[in-house]
Chains A and B, each alone.
Chain A
Amino acid sequence: MKTLILLTATCLNISAATWTDHFSFEKIPNPPGIDPQVGAMGALKDGRIAVAFHRGEVMIYDPSSSSWSLFATGLHEPLGLLVEDDGSILVMQRPELTRLKDTDGDGAADEYQTVFDDFGMSGNYHEFAYGPAKDKNGNLYIVLGVASNGAPIRKEVRGNFLEIGQVDRAGMTEGSDWKTNSSKAGRMYSRVPYRGWVLKLSPDGSKMEPYASGFRSPNGIGFDASGHLLITDNQGDWRPTSPLYDVKKDGFYGHPASLPWKKDWDGRDPLKVSVTEFDALQQPAAGYFPQGELANSPTMPQIIPDGAFPKAMAGQTLIGEMNQPNLVRVLEDEVDGTFQTALVPMFDGSPLGIGNNRMAFGKDGSLFVGKTALSWPGSNGILRIKWNAKPFAFIEKIKALPNGFALRFSEPVDPGTLGEIAVTSHTYKYHVDYGSPKVDEQGMKVNATGLSSNGLTLKLDTGALKQGYLHKIALTGLRTKDGQSLLGGTAWYQAVKVPTK
């Protein structure tokens, strides 16, 4: 009997930890009659959640009564919202940034104020608009997706059409021989102002500054807790795999279609400029989501508030993901002033599912995840995820060292399992083609001897880190002292810069 109990206990101890042991996943009821594809989400001060849907409704969900109320209707593909201090809601819809205000206190918006619409639209379906993100001074940042050669432009456009490249306006317009012309237009194109740009707006929207260029399909913009403007983009042409950028003023972030809108651009067709020239011009990604493994279409960044998840995660950033059934947690590092990250999965292998487009935290620490598809793979509706306050093992922090990594865990690690750690590194090819295979993928020799006496920090010696390479640190075989596996046990660290000491 004693043996049996011991055996059972041992079996329990070595069973892999699961997210459902620590989090509940509850689908909240969709508002009746509404197409439940979620384009934008944000928390109100009182704990209610504002949700913008595909067909333009903005609805408020009250978790205390599980009820919905209609706040606004008729918006054009809202893909971002920001709740303001006075309860009004800024919404980024395709044609403009709009402030929705309830001035008569009846619970629904009566003012639809245009805050900013001074950017071009060609009518191409892929010209989505995202944001706003707000900095500490109240400035607003929006980012504009470029058009896809999956379709031409419409006869009427908003903004000045740019006559550049191999196809003129007539050839770019619906009704032309698009089968022939599309191949010369560029896989993604920017023919009206500031497609592919981040625009910085003054708090009232009256002043605009073209802030940064080089974006393709940047379905995620937000500040992290320390003030970095984070933007995610999607794998595609000029995007070897989906990147995470720390966006700075005047930076160029890799997709060249946007460059002709640069003030001093010399008029060349971006399709005729050498890769070498763009490569020298571009700012490096602060992180990469390996395609098919971590994320294919990452979405919005969301800061984890204090108290929602384990303490060590407070202030870290979560990123949504459309195609892989997981979210992504960002572990930030800094090397000689260069911001770089390790990305780890969150809720992988849980009931989360795909289509995770937008997020908001409720007052009780619940994470609301809004889903969409827009005819791509995805889902719809809203999932509420709540931590049950039971501690679990996860990676708290990863710091790059000249010859390896320093890791910190939330639970003491069993030294007997250190031999299970594997590290590989690879890079990608920056080119006009759609995506890139892994380049120069190699295993690194791991010497994991530097475990602290309390089992919480570990120094991994891998030999010299490779600058510009993505380092995959597989900790899935690692166990805590009580036999638990890590939740989110693989990290991808992008060594933008390798520390010298």
Chain B
Amino acid sequence: MLDQMLVGPSLAEIRTLYDGKPDEFVKWSVAPQRKRPNVIEMPSMVHVGEEGLRAIHEHVMKVSKGVKVREQKEGDPFAGSPPHVARPQVQRIFMPDAGPAAIAIALDGNVSLCWDAGECRLRYVWTGGFIDGHPYWKGNGSSQAKIIGKVRYKESSAPIPLGEPSEFLGYRMEKGLPVLRYRIGPQYVTETFSPLPDGAGFSRKFTLDPPLKDAQPLTFPSDQNITYTSDKGKWSGSNLTLQAADTAEFTVTFSLK
């Protein structure tokens, strides 16, 4: 663009660098180098030929004469977009510390989580807000979203030790929250997160179809500032043992300390 950086420098900026320097302009066009991080390197324009590049230089200097480089506004111009401010909310986007098929879910105004559709498991939960997707959205996806708030809970593996390769099946929206569906071996699983009142944490309802044939211990991380409770099974530390029949439907509650 004439006065503003888009995919490359503005013509006005090129003028500040190459006014009266056609030789250097040709050199740059033939062998461009990365001048800024997070910006695509221009491919070589060698095919245009020296004569053509000199003509382009002359043209750029002519049209950019007297033009000032326009400062780009910071911040997300669509931060107040109705779908962005809605709570709860689901947004698929590149997220930090997760696989590329990540789903960010805001349960309410405070508690949010990152669920990984590639691995079919919860990655982490944070409080204090949702995401800033502008680093991704302002460009073409070369940056990840940022989380707004503080990570309060992390899982390094799925709590149900089924072990088979998993298949993500999508989700159904119920009252604005997704009922996540996936398959692990023969088991069709749903996983639904809901906020606890007053931002105190979240609950997580699982259903397994068919239920497991044997009693199963579920392992949750022990070193987190969480109090675990559930509607079924017995706890031993952060391990929950469920009777086989209980695995058809059970809910674990995570109270943040």
- Contact of A45 with B by CB under 8 A: no
Binary CB contact string for chain A from 20 to 44 against chain B (1 if under 8 A, 0 otherwise): 0000000000001111000000000
Contact of A156 among B43, B82, B98, B174 (CB under 8 A): B98
User: When the two chains form their complex, are residues B138 and A113 in contact, meaning their CB atoms are under 8 A apart?
Assistant: no
In the complex, A126 Cα to B91 Cα: how many Å?
Answer: 20
**Closest residue of B by beta carbon distance from A374:** B140
User: When the two chains form their complex, are residues B141 and A110 in contact, meaning their CB atoms are under 8 A apart?
Assistant: no
User: When the two chains form their complex, are residues A113 and B169 in contact, meaning their CB atoms are under 8 A apart?
Assistant: yes
In the complex, A32 Cα to B85 Cα: how many Å?
Answer: 14
If the complex has contacts A33-B81, A33-B82, A375-B140, are A74 and B101 also in contact, measured as CB distance less than 8 A?
no
User: When the two chains form their complex, are residues B139 and A56 in contact, meaning their CB atoms are under 8 A apart?
Assistant: no
- Write out the residue numbers on chain A whose beta carbons fall within 8 Å of the beta carbon of B174: 110
User: When the two chains form their complex, are residues A93 and B92 in contact, meaning their CB atoms are under 8 A apart?
Assistant: yes
User: When the two chains form their complex, are residues A435 and B43 in contact, meaning their CB atoms are under 8 A apart?
Assistant: yes
If the complex has contacts A70-B83, A110-B173, A113-B169, are A158 and B141 also in contact, measured as CB distance less than 8 A?
no
User: When the two chains form their complex, are residues B133 and A55 in contact, meaning their CB atoms are under 8 A apart?
Assistant: yes
Report the minimum CB–CB distance from A186 to chain B (whole Å): 14
- Contact of B222 with A by CB under 8 A: no
Interface-facing stretch out of A94-102, A406-414, A469-477: A94-102
Number of chain A residues whose Cβ lies closer than 8 Å to a Cβ of chain B: 51
- Write out the residue numbers on chain A whose beta carbons fall within 8 Å of the beta carbon of B140: 125-126, 374-376
User: When the two chains form their complex, are residues A179 and B34 in contact, meaning their CB atoms are under 8 A apart?
Assistant: yes
- Contact of B90 with A by CB under 8 A: yes
Contact of B100 among A75, A126, A158, A434 (CB under 8 A): A158
In the complex, A94 Cα to B93 Cα: how many Å?
Answer: 9
- Contact of A54 with B by CB under 8 A: yes
Interface-facing stretch out of A116-124, A358-366, A440-448: A116-124
Contact of A437 among B47, B91, B98 (CB under 8 A): B47
Chain B interface main SS type: loop
If the complex has contacts A35-B78, A122-B100, A156-B100, are A113 and B83 also in contact, measured as CB distance less than 8 A?
no
Residues 164-218 of B contacting A (Cβ, < 8 Å) = 168-174, 178
User: When the two chains form their complex, are residues A77 and B141 in contact, meaning their CB atoms are under 8 A apart?
Assistant: yes
Interface-facing stretch out of A8-16, A147-155, A225-233: A147-155
User: When the two chains form their complex, are residues A35 and B81 in contact, meaning their CB atoms are under 8 A apart?
Assistant: yes
- Contact of A73 with B by CB under 8 A: yes
User: When the two chains form their complex, are residues A34 and B83 in contact, meaning their CB atoms are under 8 A apart?
Assistant: yes
Report the minimum CB–CB distance from A209 to chain B (whole Å): 18
Binary CB contact string for chain A from 105 to 118 against chain B (1 if under 8 A, 0 otherwise): 00001111110010
Which of B7, B86, B133, B141 has the largest number of chain A CB atoms within 10 A? B141
- Contact of A267 with B by CB under 8 A: no
If the complex has contacts A148-B40, A150-B41, A158-B99, are A73 and B47 also in contact, measured as CB distance less than 8 A?
no
- Write out the residue numbers on chain A whose beta carbons fall within 8 Å of the beta carbon of B178: 112
- Contact of B12 with A by CB under 8 A: no
- Contact of B6 with A by CB under 8 A: yes
Chain A interface main SS type: loop
User: When the two chains form their complex, are residues B169 and A114 in contact, meaning their CB atoms are under 8 A apart?
Assistant: yes
- Contact of A436 with B by CB under 8 A: yes
Contact of B170 among A57, A111, A236, A435 (CB under 8 A): A111
User: When the two chains form their complex, are residues B92 and A56 in contact, meaning their CB atoms are under 8 A apart?
Assistant: yes
Which of B44, B93, B142, B170 has the largest number of chain A CB atoms within 10 A? B170
If the complex has contacts A114-B168, A150-B142, are A377 and B6 also in contact, measured as CB distance less than 8 A?
yes
In the complex, A375 Cα to B44 Cα: how many Å?
Answer: 20
- Write out the residue numbers on chain A whose beta carbons fall within 8 Å of the beta carbon of B75: none
**Closest residue of A by beta carbon distance from B5:** A375
- Write out the residue numbers on chain A whose beta carbons fall within 8 Å of the beta carbon of B103: 74
- Contact of B240 with A by CB under 8 A: no
Residues 128-161 of A contacting B (Cβ, < 8 Å) = 148, 150-151, 154, 156-158
- Write out the residue numbers on chain B whose beta carbons fall within 8 Å of the beta carbon of A55: 78, 81, 83-84, 133, 137
In the complex, A75 Cα to B90 Cα: how many Å?
Answer: 8
**Closest residue of A by beta carbon distance from B85:** A33
- Contact of A76 with B by CB under 8 A: yes
Report the minimum CB–CB distance from B155 to chain A (whole Å): 14
In the complex, A111 Cα to B101 Cα: how many Å?
Answer: 18
In the complex, A271 Cα to B90 Cα: how many Å?
Answer: 41
In the complex, A179 Cα to B99 Cα: how many Å?
Answer: 24
- Contact of B163 with A by CB under 8 A: no
User: When the two chains form their complex, are residues B44 and A158 in contact, meaning their CB atoms are under 8 A apart?
Assistant: no
- Write out the residue numbers on chain A whose beta carbons fall within 8 Å of the beta carbon of B171: 112
User: When the two chains form their complex, are residues B90 and A35 in contact, meaning their CB atoms are under 8 A apart?
Assistant: no
- Contact of B122 with A by CB under 8 A: no
**Closest residue of A by beta carbon distance from B52:** A437
User: When the two chains form their complex, are residues B44 and A56 in contact, meaning their CB atoms are under 8 A apart?
Assistant: no
User: When the two chains form their complex, are residues B170 and A114 in contact, meaning their CB atoms are under 8 A apart?
Assistant: yes
User: When the two chains form their complex, are residues B81 and A150 in contact, meaning their CB atoms are under 8 A apart?
Assistant: no
Residues 72-116 of B contacting A (Cβ, < 8 Å) = 77-78, 80-84, 86, 89-94, 98-101, 103
If the complex has contacts A73-B90, A148-B40, A437-B47, are A95 and B101 also in contact, measured as CB distance less than 8 A?
yes
- Write out the residue numbers on chain B whose beta carbons fall within 8 Å of the beta carbon of A150: 40-41, 142
**Closest residue of B by beta carbon distance from A93:** B92
In the complex, A53 Cα to B141 Cα: how many Å?
Answer: 14
Q: What residues make up the interface of A, taking CB atoms closer than 8 Å to B?
A: 32-35, 54-57, 70, 73-77, 93-96, 98-99, 109-114, 117, 121-123, 125-126, 148, 150-151, 154, 156-158, 179, 236, 373-377, 433-437
Q: What residues make up the interface of B, taking CB atoms closer than 8 Å to A?
A: 6-7, 34, 40-41, 43-44, 47, 49, 77-78, 80-84, 86, 89-94, 98-101, 103, 117-118, 133, 137-142, 168-174, 178
Additional pairs, 20, CB under 8 Å, beyond known A74-B89, A94-B101, A434-B43: A33-B83, A55-B83, A73-B86, A73-B89, A73-B91, A75-B92, A94-B141, A95-B118, A114-B170, A123-B99, A125-B141, A150-B40, A150-B142, A156-B118, A373-B6, A374-B141, A375-B7, A377-B6, A435-B43, A436-B47
Q: What are the 7 A-B residue pairs with the smallest beta carbon separation, nearest first?
A: A76-B92, A434-B43, A95-B101, A125-B142, A125-B141, A121-B100, A114-B170
